[in-house]
Chains A and B, each alone.
Chain A
Amino acid sequence: MIHRFTLTAVLVLGTVILGGTLLIGCSNTAAERMPRPDVVTIDAMTVFGDLERPVVQFPHDLHTAAVKEDGKDCTVCHLRLEDGSLSQKYGRLVDDDVQTVTDVYHVGCINCHTEKASLDMKSGPVACGECHVREAKYTSSRVQIHFDRSLHYRHVDASQEKCERCHHDWDSTQTARTYIKGKEASCRDCHKDASIGKRPSIRTAVHHQCVGCHLETPNSGPTVCAGCHDSERQKAITVVEDAPRLFRNQPDFVLLAAGEAERANSKMKTVPFSHLAHEGAVASCRTCHHEMLHSCDDCHTLPGKEEGGGVRLERAMHDMTADHSCVGCHERAKDALDCAGCHNLMQRGKLSEHACTICHTGPEPDRLTSVAERYTSLDQFRKPANDTRLSINRRDIPDTVIISLLSDTYEAVRMPHGRHIDSLMKRIGASKMATYFHGHDDVVCQGCHHHSPIGERPPMCESCHREPFNESDLMKPGLYGAYHRQCLGCHQSMQIEKPSACVDCHANKESRAE
Chain B
Amino acid sequence: MSTSRRKFLKWLTAAGAASALPSVAEGHGHFTGYSDSYGVLHDTTLCVGCRSCEKACNEVNDLPAPDRPFDDPTVLSDVRRTDEKAYTVVNRYDVNGPSGSPVFRKLQCNHCKEPACASACFVGAFTKTPEGAVVYDASVCVGCRYCLMACPFDIPAYEYNKALEPRVMKCTMCHPRVAEGKLPGCVEACPMEALTFGKRDDLITIARERIRKYPDRYIDHVYGETEVGGTNWLYITGAPFETLGFRTDLGVTPAPELTSGALAMVPVVIGVWPALLGGIYIMSQRKEKIANQEKAAAVKDAINTTQAKADAALKAATEKAKNEKDKAVEKAVKKALDDAAKQTGGGEA
Task: Name the residue on B nearest A485 (C-beta).
Answer: B192
Closest residue on chain B to residue A492 by CB atoms: B101
A484 at the interface (CB under 8 A from B): yes
Which of the candidate stretches B20-28, B209-217, B257-265 sits at the interface with the other chain?
B209-217
* Inter-subunit contact B191/A484 (CB<8 Å): yes
**B197 at interface by CB-CB < 8 Å:** yes
Q: Are B191 and A481 in contact (CB under 8 A)?
A: yes
Given A474-B198, A492-B101: A468 and B193 interface contact (C-beta under 8 Å)? yes
Q: Contact: A485 with B193, CB < 8 Å?
A: yes
CB of A48 within 8 A of chain B? no
- Set of chain A residues within 8 Å of B165, measured between Cβ atoms: none
Residue from B190, B192, B202, B216 within 8 A of A471 (CB atoms): B202
Q: Give chain B's interface secondary structure class.
A: loop
> Which one, A348, A477, A501, A502, contacts B193 given CB within 8 A?
A477
Within 8 A of A (CB), among B177-192: 183, 190-192
Given contacts A348-B216, A349-B215, A349-B216, contact A488 B192 (CB under 8 A): yes
Q: Closest Cβ of chain A: how far from B179's Cβ, in Å?
A: 17
From B50, B183, B198, B214, give the contact of A348 (CB < 8 A): B214
Contact A501 B191 (CB under 8 A): no
Residues of chain B within 8 A of A468, CB atoms compared = 183, 193, 196-197
The residue among B50, B190, B196 with the most chain A CB atoms within 10 A of its own CB is B196
Question: Does A27 sit within 8 A of B, measured CB to CB?
Answer: no
The reply to whether B214 and A480 form a contact with Cβ atoms under 8 Å apart is no
Are B206's CB and A475's CB within 8 A? yes
Contacts A474-B205, A480-B193, A492-B101 given; does A485 touch B213 at CB 8 Å:
no
Asked whether, in the complex, the Cβ of A474 is within 8 Å of the Cβ of B206, the reply is: yes
Chain B contacts with A in 197-237, Cβ cutoff 8 A: 197-199, 202, 205-206, 209-210, 213-216
In the complex, whether B71 has a CB less than 8 A from a CB of chain A is yes
Please, which residues of chain B bring their CB within 8 A of the CB of A347? 213-214
Nearest CB on A from B10, distance (A): 51
Q: What's the Cα separation between A349 and B183 when bound, in Å?
A: 35
**Given A347-B213, A347-B214, A492-B101: A471 touches B46 (CB 8 Å cut-off):** no
| Contact yes or no, A469 B213, CB < 8 A | no
Minimum distance in angstroms from A120 CB to a CB of chain B: 47
Chief secondary structure at chain A's binding surface: loop
- Closest B residue to A495 by beta carbon equals B101
* Residues of chain A lying within 8 A (CB to CB) of residue B48: 488, 492
- Decide if A484 touches B192 in the complex (CB within 8 Å): yes
Decide: A469 near B198, CB < 8 A? Known: A485-B46, A502-B50. yes
Q: Contact: B198 with A471, CB < 8 Å?
A: yes
Given A349-B215, A349-B216, do A475 and B209 touch, yes or no (CB 8 Å)? yes
Answer yes or no: A124 CB below 8 A from chain B CBs: no
Closest to A488 in B: B48
For residue A349, which residues in chain B have a CB less than 8 angstroms away from its CB?
215-216
Separation of A196 and B205 alpha carbons in the complex (Å): 53
Residues from chain B with a CB closer than 8 A to the CB of A477 are: 193
Q: Encode A466-494 as 1/0 by CB contact (under 8 A) with B.
A: 00110100110110111011001000100
What residues of A have a CB within 8 angstroms of the CB of B206 in the complex? 474-475
The interface residues of chain A lying within 8 Å CB-to-CB of B190 are 481
State the CA gap A468–B183 with chains docked (Å). Answer: 10
Give complex CA distance A468, B40 in Å: 13
Give the distance in Å from the alpha carbon of A118 to the alpha carbon of B50 in the complex. Answer: 69
| CA distance in complex: A475, B202 (Å) | 10
What CA separation (Å) do A11 and B72 show in the bound complex?
56
Q: Which A residues touch B197, using CB under 8 A?
A: 468-469
CA A349 to CA B206, docked complex, whole Å: 19
Q: Are A478 and B192 in contact (CB under 8 A)?
A: no
- A348 partner residues in chain B, CB cutoff 8 A: 214, 216
Chain A residues near B210 (CB, 8 Å)?
475
Chain B nearest Cβ from A450, distance in angstroms: 13
A469 touches B191 (CB 8 A): no
Q: A347-B214, A349-B216, A471-B198 are in contact. Are A480 and B209 (CB under 8 A)?
A: no
Q: Are A501 and B198 CB-contacts (below 8 A) given A485-B46, A492-B101?
A: no
A480 to B192, CA, bound (A): 7
Using Cβ atoms and an 8 Å threshold, which residues of chain A touch B192? 481, 484-485, 488
CA distance A484 to B191 in the complex (A): 6
What is the minimal beta-carbon distance from B207 to any residue of chain A, in angstroms?
10
The distance in angstroms between the C-alpha atoms of A477 and B190, with both chains bound, is: 12
- Within the complex, the shortest CB–CB distance from B284 to chain A, in Å, comes to 34
| B101 and A474 form a contact (CB under 8 A) | no
Establish whether residues A481 and B193, one from each chain, have CB atoms under 8 Å apart when the complex forms.
yes
* CB of A478, distance to nearest CB on chain B (Å): 6
Q: Which residue of A lies closest to B189 (CB)?
A: A480
CA of A501 to CA of B70 in the docked complex: distance in angstroms?
12
- Are B202 and A501 in contact (CB-based, < 8 A)? no
List A contacts of B191 (CB < 8 A): 480-481, 484
A81 to chain B, nearest CB (A): 47
- Bound together, the chains give a CA A512 to CA B206 distance in angstroms of 37
- Select one of B46, B193, B213 contacting A478, CB under 8 A: B193
Say whether A474 contacts B202, CB under 8 Å: yes
Cβ–Cβ contact B213 & A501, under 8 A? no
Residue of A nearest to B192 (CB): A484
Interface residues as binary, A341-352 with B (CB distance below 8 Å gives 1, 0 otherwise) = 000000111000
> Which B residue sits closest to A348, measured CB to CB?
B216
Min distance, Cβ A157 to any Cβ of chain B, angstroms: 39
Contacts of B213 in A (CB 8 A): 347
Q: How far is the CB of A14 from chain B (nearest CB, A)?
A: 34
With the chains together, A480 CA to B202 CA distance in Å? 21
CA A349 to CA B211, docked complex, whole Å: 13
Distance, CA A348 to CA B214, complexed state (A):
7
Complex Cα–Cα for A482 and B194 (A): 11
A203 to B216 alpha-carbon distance, docked (Å): 34
What's the Cα separation between A349 and B193 when bound, in Å?
24
B183 partner residues in chain A, CB cutoff 8 A: 468-469
Cα A471 to Cα B198 in complex, Å, equals 8
Tell me the complex Cα distance, A488–B196, Å.
Answer: 18
B220–chain A nearest beta-carbon distance, Å: 14
- B198 cross-chain contacts in A, Cβ below 8 A: 469, 471, 474
Nearest CB in chain B to that of A350: its residue: B213
Closest partner residue, chain A, to B203 (CB atom):
A474
A130 to B14, CA, bound (A): 91
Output the least CB separation between B239 and chain A (Å).
Answer: 15
Q: Which residue of B lies closest to A406 (CB)?
A: B191
Q: A349-B216, A480-B193, A482-B193 are in contact. List 7 more A-B contacts (CB 8 A).
A: A348-B214, A349-B215, A474-B198, A481-B191, A484-B192, A484-B193, A488-B192
**A–B pairs, 8, beta carbons within 8 Å:** A349-B215, A349-B216, A471-B202, A474-B205, A481-B191, A482-B193, A485-B193, A488-B48
Ranked 4 nearest A-B pairs via Cβ: A481-B193, A484-B191, A477-B193, A474-B206
